[in-house]
Chains A and B, each alone.
Chain A
Amino acid sequence: MKETTKVALAGNPNVGKTVIFNELTGSKQHVGNWPGVTVEKKVGNFSHKDEEIEVVDLPGTYSLSPYSIDERIARDYIIEEKPDAVVNIVDASNIERNLYLTLQLLEAGANVVVALNMMDEAQKKGMKIDVKKLSEILKAPVIPMVGIKGEGVKELKNAIYEEVKHRREHRHMSMGYGRELEKGIISLEEEMARCPALKKYRHRWLAIKILEGDAEAIKKVSEAGCDDLIKEAKRLRKQFGRKLDEDMETYFADKRYEFVDDILGVVLIKGKKLWSFSDMLDKVLTHKVFGIPIFLAMMWAAFQFTFSVAVPFMDAIDLFFGWLGDIARVSITNPAIQSLVADGIIGGLGSVLIFLPNIFLLFFVLSLMEDSGYLARAAFVMDKAMYRIGLQGKSFVPMLLGFGCNVPAIMATRTIEDRKERLITILVNPLMSCSARLPVYILFAGAFFIGAEGSVIFSMYLMGILLAVLMALLLRKVFFKGKPSPLIMEMPPYRMPTFKSSAIHMWEKGSMFLKKAGSIIFLGVVIIWFLSTYPGGPGSDIETSYVAAIGRWVQPIFAPLGWDWKAAIALVFGFVAKEIVVGAYGTFYGISDADEGSTSLRSELHGAFTPVSAYAYMAFVLIYVPCLATIGVIKSETGSWKWTLFAVAYMMGLAYLVALVITVVGHLLGFA
């Protein structure tokens, strides 16, 4: 059987790898306009002529010296899996920095095809690149492209086909590092030839890496049992280090940049410096005084929009489920099945699905902000504030992703090199309010804060950010002493977001909510319906049900906060997924009001909460454990039960404390 041809997409962060991946494979992976969107490799396929090709989209990396987890994923794939070709996506408008990785890929022996992406941006900057000359120097095909418009995709497919078909493996461009050092490299290569276990690596690349002192490369050599080689490399490193008066890694890096400069001297004509529209925007959006207020203004507008514009769609869904419930009540005669379908499934699920428009709109707005390039500026603006609390701006990217869902947000911390910073970011990330909590806020804000719903919801998000800041500060002072590392972050160009791209992003994230509604939330509301209906059966008083018994058992814990047993039990079920809190209320009131017709859930809540206790309840939902999936991802990303249990414990404690403070202060200020 013919082996599948494998092609990897590699490049610096935010050069359009995912765009080209989607163009090649026809998939709809999320494309972001900030570094770090791809933290895991993604796989897709396409066929071209007679070849079936598997494409792997690797996380962005600046070099083949891995400093963070995502960079290690990219390097390991290229070095260990040895794909048939590596498409190196190069941002033409930042060619100087991008070519560094190209040189390293060629040095590693990869069969490189250079996709010179964002040619339009380069042209806007007045840059002219001699593509043919560049291809001659690199001894690799170079394809000019504008990935986002699909320009050059056909040519890229042809180039990939030619590369994998003819497998021109012995055609690497090699750059020299000076006569003395070359002698050392060659002696190491000769020594390496005596280690059969190292045969799979390109010897020149491995020799350079161990001379650089690359810990991963040294480990590979050590595991192959070639300790003499390590000793020799160490001796040479010391010898050359003394002679050159700098460490070897820096020396090799400098030499590569010199070579890049030489190449660009031949192939690039730079345009005259223009004061671009991007420069003008950056001047204000990253301004030391206005940066943060502008960010807050944008976030407030996002939540105001999300809440208010969704209202007609919510009402339409509400009417639909009301109509569906009436039909179920009329057409199903068996009381148990009628109650299950009308009160449990339609009532419970309907009360959650009503928030679908809010969730879709929130993702749409966040996507617009991300695609425009603004979110990267927000991270930059926040860097100074983040540094003060012991984090760096890079931590802000996963924090912002947490507004969507904490699970991918915690996974996105892989871009953070420093383990301490990464742990702090993981531990505080659940405090960023994910979309699953939005239905709870909308329900309670709509019931108790009429006219100020958007601002009340925004205050929840602000509270989440403030608590995350405070917790990060505390964790840094108590458990993770030391200073954060400085932020090096590339600002992506501003781009006009397209409706198509934002709609795809909205659908990807929004459909996750729909899938949850069809699985775990569905199961949750059915269980809640059963516990709320029995042992008495349909039509019996909910106060005599199992759920009431469990709720009364839990309720004393929440008595100081003024919540009844229904509030307590909804929180218990919300431990699985936050949307179930609303689903539980939908089911409770569906059952209670089965005889009275469709009484509004919001008006029912007025009997159980005051504005103060409702606000405290919203705060509790914000802070306590987001969901089981988040706990799972904290465990997998920290690799520690200790930190996982710590996260659960501190969030529960903090949620209770904050809710209690709101209740006490609210009463002291004379609010009901």
Chain B
Amino acid sequence: MSEKIRLIGIYSAIIGSIYILYGMLEIIAWAAGELRFPLSPSPDIFAGFILVVIGSILLYRVRDLLSMRYEGLSFFFVALILSAIIGIMYLLIMGADLLDATIIGEPWAFDSAAYNLPAIVLFILLLPGWLIIRKREEFGE
């Protein structure tokens, strides 16, 4: 298990950095207007702020995870939950738009900025982390 924790630490550091990067890009896109990056960030200050928060939580106790201390897992778990909430929310919004297009008879097209594609992709990338939660009984002191 200890080695796994170190791996989670490395994984947290990578995904957390991407979260912060895209969060900042979304805030910049909101402030600057038309900005285009790979995986188009949505120009929304609040959405950007949320991504920065998730990224910061992932990075906050990476050192604990790298030194194989269980405490850092708390931050990893909460970041997983927040990431899932935001990712699933955007997937639901996408589904709702698709349904709406069907109801009003208009064509639907995928808009990566409207559905905050980075948030969805990062949520999917974090999904393997849920496998760790299934083994939470191991965390007894």
Contact = CB atoms under 8 A, between A and B. Distances in A.
A281 B103 contact: no
Interface centre among A272, A283, A298, A308 (most CB of B within 10 A): A308
A327 interface: no
Interface string A301-342: 100110011111001100100000000000000000000000
Contacts of B53: 290, 293-294, 297
Contacts of A296: 49
B89 A280 contact: no
Interface centre among B75, B97, B103, B114 (most CB of A within 10 A): B103
Interface in A242-301: 272-275, 277, 279-281, 283-285, 290, 293-294, 296-298, 300-301
Contacts of B93: 304-305, 308-309
B82 A451 contact: no
A451 B75 contact: no
Interface centre among B44, B70, B78, B133 (most CB of A within 10 A): B78
Contacts of A279: 74
Nearest to A279: B74
Contacts of A311: 96-97, 100
Given A293-B53, A301-B50, A280 B96 contact: no
A279 B141 CA distance: 12
Interface size class of chain A, counting residues whose CB lies under 8 Å from the partner chain: 20 to 34
A452 interface: yes
Contact of B78 (A272, A281, A315): A281
A323 to B, nearest CB: 13
B103 A280 contact: no
B53 to A, nearest CB: 5
A274 B140 contact: yes
Interface string B81-119: 010011001001100110110111000000000100000
Contacts of B54: 297
A545 to B, nearest CB: 33
Contacts of B56: 290
Contacts of A135: none
A304 B89 contact: yes
A65 interface: no
A301 B82 CA distance: 10
A458 interface: yes
Contacts of A455: 44-47
Interface of B is mostly: helix
A310 B92 CA distance: 10
A297 B73 CA distance: 20
Contacts of A294: 53, 57, 78, 82
B141 A273 contact: yes
Given A297-B82, A315-B100, A284 B44 contact: no
Nearest to A455: B46
Interface string A450-479: 011011001000000000000000000000
A284 B64 CA distance: 14
A280 B86 contact: no
A629 B44 CA distance: 37
A454 B56 CA distance: 23
A284 B47 contact: no
Interface of B: 44-47, 49-50, 53-54, 56-57, 60, 70-71, 73-75, 77-78, 82, 85-86, 89, 92-93, 96-97, 99-100, 102-104, 114, 133, 136, 139-141
Given A283-B75, A311-B100, A316-B103, 6 more contacts: A277-B136, A280-B74, A284-B78, A285-B78, A312-B103, A451-B114
Interface of A: 272-275, 277, 279-281, 283-285, 290, 293-294, 296-298, 300-301, 304-305, 308-312, 315-316, 319, 451-452, 454-455, 458
20 contacts: A277-B139, A280-B73, A280-B74, A280-B139, A284-B74, A284-B77, A284-B78, A285-B78, A290-B53, A300-B50, A305-B92, A308-B92, A308-B97, A309-B92, A311-B97, A312-B102, A315-B103, A315-B104, A316-B103, A319-B103
